């Protein structure tokens, strides 16, 4: 009896067997889905990489153990000791920590570019500059990057462009089609979507870059486990449906928060007064994502009162699950920045980041009202 499973089984094995030496040689010489050791490749992680590659319209992808290892892999595709890399000043705190604390120890020089200079890069490019790292939508201030324009600037300067597309997801934006060379995601977030996986992915516009990323993943041991690959592939199947609901709920809540007397400011690309609203609408295919930030009184006691009064929305320093959560950039994602750096980016004591889930929006609005009433 032949067995034809509708979904890929979990290949929870560290190693695969060979019939003889001929089979071993075939593994190394013949292209195709052959496996030897899960650090090198596994059907579950390959399936996930292939599906994300299709969504991002790339020429090859490799999944990694986390979003951080995806960032590391992408940068190492183009940079080595003695090189110089550029990074947008408005970036996830973990990304800046990786670049400033670890890659500099390996001999890679890093310079941060303010948003005002990102489209010209004048005065930032050196003879040994190799790449620019940006986010489609910045964390946590929700600045939307004009990827086509920044790609043109990179091409004019001979730089590679790496785009972290985690906040947007490939449902909203496909950076490779806008001129990026590599797109990365924390698969932990929207692609998996259920807060039960830690994973990353690197998708390349050129097959040679994807092959180099795979080599880095294998050599550094940045591989993803088969079970997490299977979980993430399962979550990926509902990505389009989830992103529609995340976006719809976030827009409703952003509009409501903007009218609340205890909210000083709301940062969401879907609001007409957002500086990049028109760009976000075009680049996001009419959707604006499920992430927003808002500012209440700039004192920790007000923030604590707000958090304690919530009964449904937890304080969880991550994002993009099917259930809504809040985070506190000053104390979590951007804790490593100096007070002056945070202040310059608008990351103040009263800033709260909201990852909007797919629950009934009235339930979410009622819980936020409870929290704000406690201030």
Catalytic residues: 39, 92, 164, 189
Q: Sheet harboring 200-204: ordered strands across?
A: 61-64, 200-204, 182-186, 160-164, 129-135, 84-88, 109-113
Which of 72, 31, 112, 19 lies closest to 221, judged by CA? 72
| CA–CA separation, 164 and 136 (whole Å) | 6
Closest CA to 285 of 152, 168, 176: 168
Helix (H, G, I), strand (E, B), or coil: what is residue 98? helix
Please give the order of strands across the beta sheet that includes 325-327: 265-267, 291-295, 351-355, 325-327
How many residues does this entry show for the chain? 375
| Residue 272 dihedral angles phi and psi, to the nearest 5° | -60, -25
Nearest to 75 by CA among 130, 22, 123, 37: 130
**Cα 202 from chain centroid (whole Å):** 11
How far, CA to CA in Å, does 76 sit from each of 73, 79, 84, 90, 96? 5, 5, 12, 21, 15
∠ CA 281-287-291, rounded to 5°: 105
For residue 162 the two structure tokens come to 């790496």
């Amino acid at each position: 009896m032949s067995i034809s499973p509708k979904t890929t089984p979990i290949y929870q094995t560290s190693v695969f067997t060979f019939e003889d030496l001929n089979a071993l040689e075939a593994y190394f010489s013949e292209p195709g889905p052959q496996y030897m050791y899960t650090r090198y490749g596994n059907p579950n992680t390959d399936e996930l990489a292939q599906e994300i590659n299709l969504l991002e319209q790339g020429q090859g992808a490799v999944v990694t153990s986390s979003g951080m290892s995806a960032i590391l892999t992408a940068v190492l595709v183009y940079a080595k000791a003695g090189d110089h890399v550029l990074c947008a000043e408005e970036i996830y705190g973990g990304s800046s920590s990786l670049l400033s604390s670890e890659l500099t120890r390996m001999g890679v020089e890093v310079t941060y570019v303010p948003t005002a200079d990102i489209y010209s890069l004048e005065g930032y490019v050196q003879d040994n500059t190799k790449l620019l790292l940006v986010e489609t939508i910045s964390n946590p201030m929700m600045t939307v990057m004009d990827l086509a324009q920044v790609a043109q600037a990179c091409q004019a300067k001979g730089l590679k462009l790496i785009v972290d597309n985690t906040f947007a997801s490939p449902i909203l934006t496909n950076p490779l089609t806008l001129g990026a060379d590599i797109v990365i995601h924390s698969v932990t977030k929207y692609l998996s979507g259920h807060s039960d996986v830690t994973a990353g992915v690197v998708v390349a516009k050129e097959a040679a870059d994807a092959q180099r990323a795979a080599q880095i993943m294998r050599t550094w041991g940045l591989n993803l486990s088969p079970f997490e690959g299977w979980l993430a592939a399962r979550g990926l199947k509902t990505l389009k449906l989830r992103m529609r609901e995340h976006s719809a709920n976030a827009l409703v809540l952003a509009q409501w928060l903007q009218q609340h007397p205890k909210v000083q400011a709301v940062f969401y690309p879907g609001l007409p007064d957002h500086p990049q609203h028109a760009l976000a609408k075009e680049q996001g295919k009419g959707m604006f994502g499920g992430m927003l930030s808002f500012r209440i009184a700039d004192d920790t006691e007000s923030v604590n009162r707000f958090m304690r009064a919530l009964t449904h929305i937890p304080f969880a320093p991550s994002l993009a699950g099917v259930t809504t959560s809040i985070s506190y950039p000053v104390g979590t994602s951007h804790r490593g920045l100096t007070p002056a750096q945070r202040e310059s980016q608008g990351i103040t004591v009263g800033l709260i980041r909201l990852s909007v889930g797919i629950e009934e929006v009235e339930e979410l609005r009622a819980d936020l009202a409870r929290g704000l009433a406690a201030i």
